[in-house]
Amino acid sequence: MVAVSGFILLLFVANVRSRLYYHGPNYSFLFWLFLYALLTGIGVMRLKKWGVLLLFLPSIGMLIVLCVARVEERVTLGILSLNLAFVLLFAAVPAIMLRNWSELRW
């Protein structure tokens, strides 16, 4: 996660540069993604419980989007199952970390 945060920071800096020189699009959300990835990476490296809980946020967000899409857009079963597999893949890593919950600190 710390390496991912470094990559996202690089993308944010490149976006700021393109905005200054070429009046490019505003991708300021990259800063918030960088901050999330950095905090989560530090939390997981230091074996903190809040770091593991932060790892669940992307899968919870994708699950909410998936439920809204199923109700509003009438998504087919094939696409729904593919997206559900993607959500489960994102939730697998923090779920494996939950086995060691008692060893983690707040």
User: pLDDT (tens digit, 9 = 90+) per residue, 45-80?
Assistant: 888 888 888 888 888 888 888 888 777 777 777 887
Query: Rounded to whole angstroms, what are the CA distances from 49 to 75, 88, 103?
Result: 35, 20, 9
Measured N-to-C along each axis, helices 29-45 and 2-22 cross at an angle, to the nearest 10 degrees, of 160
* Separation CA 10–CA 7 (nearest Å): 5
* Separation CA 7–CA 31 (nearest Å): 11
* Separation CA 99–CA 23 (nearest Å): 48
User: pLDDT (tens digit, 9 = 90+) per residue, 22-41?
Assistant: 988 888 889 999 999 999 88
